[in-house]
Chain A
Amino acid sequence: MRDVAVVGFAQAPAVRETHGTTNGVEMLVPVFHEVLGNLGLAKSDIEFWCSGSSDYIAGRAFSFIAAVDAIGAFPPINESHVEADAAWACYEAWVKIQTGEVDLALVYGFGKSSAGKLRRVMTMQLDPYTVGPLWPDSVSVAGLQARAGLDQGKWTEQQMADVAVRSRADAKSNPRAQLKGDYSAEDLLAEPYLADPLRKHDCAPITDGAAAVVLAASDRARELSERPAWITGIAHRVDSANLGGRDLTTSPSTVGAARDAGFDKVDVAELHAPFTHQELLLRQELGLNGTRINPSGGVLCGNPMFSAGLIRIGEAARQISSGQADRALAHATSGPALQHNLVCLMEGRD
């Protein structure tokens, strides 16, 4: 295996609504400028580009092709795309570097969630025969999962509110966060239900955004970063598409991905949990006791669809590069109720 590290990360501000097109160009141009500028790189230095986005979010066909305008694809570039969160594009880029074909890759994701009705757009990921035609929305599906855990005593509404309070407080130091501030769990729990058992604070906000991560192999990584975040393992697994066939209070795919990636112990974890109970579930499944969780504020404070998972990798890597952590776990999710999960483990080497 080749040593591969995250050496750069930038993200657009997480905001409720941008005024641009759904092809991401307006959000991506400054993100590329920032991430490449910080590394002293030109676009022509990047040997492989890989993106994650969704035409259902964009409401148009081939939006990821239009997004390539933000790169400037002449002379022709080496490019790929996944119709998934860009954390999976990061996985592809890592594999590409492992093949030895390239040493330097840029991964990006974008999504203008505000263009459509997000919770309805997300119905399109469900079984199109027996579930999708009923139009269950993404918040309700998460509600089914939250209640299952509440009924089984796996978490409480108080713990769920505590997650929101801690996340919003941590987001105060994240200039790109959409929601931040000091709240009390008592006040949050006095709010009405949005989709009983979920209140508004249990659900990630609707966010437009984009992000980019730069991956580099061995010596190239050492040239570009004083403290690269070396990827020691990256893996992803998926659970059944049949919601009623799963135990929604567990996440075998997360546990399996963490095991495949070689998870042991970390100082910090960035978890892609768009609902408060999902953070509690992931912490239980991964046994993250005493680990610092989501110092960025996590996706509860900004959830740009199709880049939020990649941002977990970027934020966890930043913890290592800044010297605040030696070992970090980044998690990304896709599909309904934590169906598909990716775990990326990183470490600093002194």
Chain B
Amino acid sequence: MTTLSAPLNVEFDYTRSLGPVLGRFMTGLRDRRIEGIRGDDGRVHVPPVEYDPVTARKLTDWVEVASAGTVQTWAWVPEPDEGQPLTHPFAWALIKLDGADTAMLHAVDVPGPEHMSTGMRVRVRWAAEPVGSIHDIACFEPGEAVETEPTQGEPVTMVTTPVRLGYTHSASSEEARYLNGLLEGRLLGQRCPVCQKVYIPPRGACPTDGVPTVDEVELPDRGTVTTFCIVNVPFLGQRITPPYVAAYVLLDGADIAFQHLILGCDASEVRMGMRVKAAWRPREEWQRSLANIDHFEPSGEPDAPFETYSQHL
């Protein structure tokens, strides 16, 4: 059996409020100034910490440090990844700025690893347009500090940190049979060998018994509305104008209902026990998706007695 898989790219731009300590640090970076904070043992922390790592006391003693320092350790990046400070090979380094007692992590721009050494002197290369983020330090480069043109503005209170992660999701073999069935307009469930319940979609394991569902069961495209809600609220990406009905449909012969759309009647007519049938999209639009069924609509049959679906609510 061939595995079905598809990429899923998860993206989110986190907006984080900075608070007094990180806010002042980021404001400093925006103004091309690096400030650390003095701990109870006299050590100057850069980046600043909000509380002393030993005494846990709130720290408030700010100290400006130099924009040049010494490499404490480094590692080479032959193939930079998305979002990193440089797009060509570079070194990550822990850099202790002059006046600081802790090191900060950043990139060092040199042509190759042979140009890197522990103890080497590096200076900040400022970003052309600082905004109040760690990226205001574009990277470090070999050399000593130089005079910079300070910039100014409102205090920085927020930072936006985009996160982008790519995954490849695979369907289980049970799910793959189900999805391939949909491509042919068939509704394929599977029966648990222990409790005999029929699941659609089939499961990697029966949630009651913890064993894979195995025997294939083809189900009709008719069923019963077990429960429903009328959607009155508009939201981003909505493809139908409210009000409309989202319902749980229990296909005949299945033991688990799935959610689908009910159209073809007034929303107020939808009721528990209503008999419905699938309205398929045109065959040429079919994919490996339950969206091949555009919606369910009343079948005209008499309502199903409550006992027939009471165990599936």
Interchain CB contact under 8 A, A144 and B165: no
Q: Mark A108-152, 1 if CB is under 8 A from B, else 0.
A: 000000111100110010001111111111001111111110010
Q: Report chain B residues within 8 Å CB of A59.
A: 8, 10, 165, 167, 169
Closest chain-A Cβ to B18's Cβ sits at a distance in Å of 7
Q: Report chain A residues within 8 Å CB of B83.
A: 133-135
A335 interfacial contact with B, CB 8 Å: no
Q: Mark B201-221, 1 if CB is under 8 A from A, else 0.
A: 001111111111000000000
Chain B, Cβ-Cβ closest to A139: B75
Quick one: which of B49, B82, B106, B113 contacts A196, CB cutoff 8 A? B113
Which of A73, A74, A147 has the most C-beta atoms of chain B within 10 angstroms of its own C-beta? A147
Interchain CB contact under 8 A, A29 and B211: yes
Closest chain-B Cβ to A241's Cβ sits at a distance in Å of 9
Quick one: which of A129, A145, A147 contacts B134, CB cutoff 8 A? A129
B104 interfacial contact with A, CB 8 Å: yes
Stretch from A19-27, A213-221, A306-314, A318-326 contacting the other chain:
A19-27
Closest chain-A Cβ to B119's Cβ sits at a distance in Å of 9
Quick one: which of A130, A144, A242 contacts B75, CB cutoff 8 A? A144
A248 interfacial contact with B, CB 8 Å: yes
Q: Report chain A residues within 8 Å CB of B169.
A: 21-22, 59-60, 115
Within 8 A of B (CB), among A207-266: 240, 242-245, 248
Interchain CB contact under 8 A, B159 and A144: no
State A130–B136 Cα separation when bound (angstroms): 11
Known A-B contacts A130-B104, A135-B84, A195-B77; A26 and B204 likewise in contact (beta carbons under 8 Å): yes
Interchain CB contact under 8 A, A69 and B134: no
Interchain CB contact under 8 A, B92 and A71: no
B105 interfacial contact with A, CB 8 Å: yes
Quick one: which of A72, A132, A244 contacts B94, CB cutoff 8 A? A244
- Report the count of interface residues on B (CB-CB < 8 A): 63
Quick one: which of B92, B104, B209 contacts A140, CB cutoff 8 A? B92
Closest chain-A Cβ to B10's Cβ sits at a distance in Å of 6
B283 interfacial contact with A, CB 8 Å: no
Interchain CB contact under 8 A, B167 and A22: yes
State A69–B211 Cα separation when bound (angstroms): 9
Interchain CB contact under 8 A, A136 and B73: no
Known A-B contacts A72-B205, A116-B165; A134 and B94 likewise in contact (beta carbons under 8 Å): no
B3 interfacial contact with A, CB 8 Å: yes
Interchain CB contact under 8 A, B102 and A20: no
State A148–B92 Cα separation when bound (angstroms): 13
State A128–B94 Cα separation when bound (angstroms): 17
Interchain CB contact under 8 A, B118 and A151: yes
Interchain CB contact under 8 A, A25 and B166: no
Q: Could you list 7 further interchain pairs (A-B, Cβ under 8 angstroms) beyond the known A116-B168, A245-B53?
A: A22-B169, A68-B207, A71-B210, A133-B133, A142-B75, A144-B94, A145-B73
Instruction: Please list 14 pairs of residues, one from A and one from B, whose beta carbons are closer than 8 Å in the complex, sorted by A's number.
Output: A20-B204, A23-B204, A70-B210, A129-B161, A131-B105, A136-B92, A140-B77, A147-B75, A193-B113, A196-B113, A198-B75, A240-B53, A242-B102, A244-B72
9 pairs of A and B residues whose beta carbons are closest in the complex? A143-B75, A72-B210, A59-B167, A244-B103, A25-B204, A196-B76, A135-B83, A148-B73, A74-B208
Binding site for B on A (CB under 8 A): 19-23, 25-26, 29, 32, 43, 56, 59-60, 68-74, 114-117, 120-121, 124, 128-137, 140-148, 151, 193, 195-198, 240, 242-245, 248
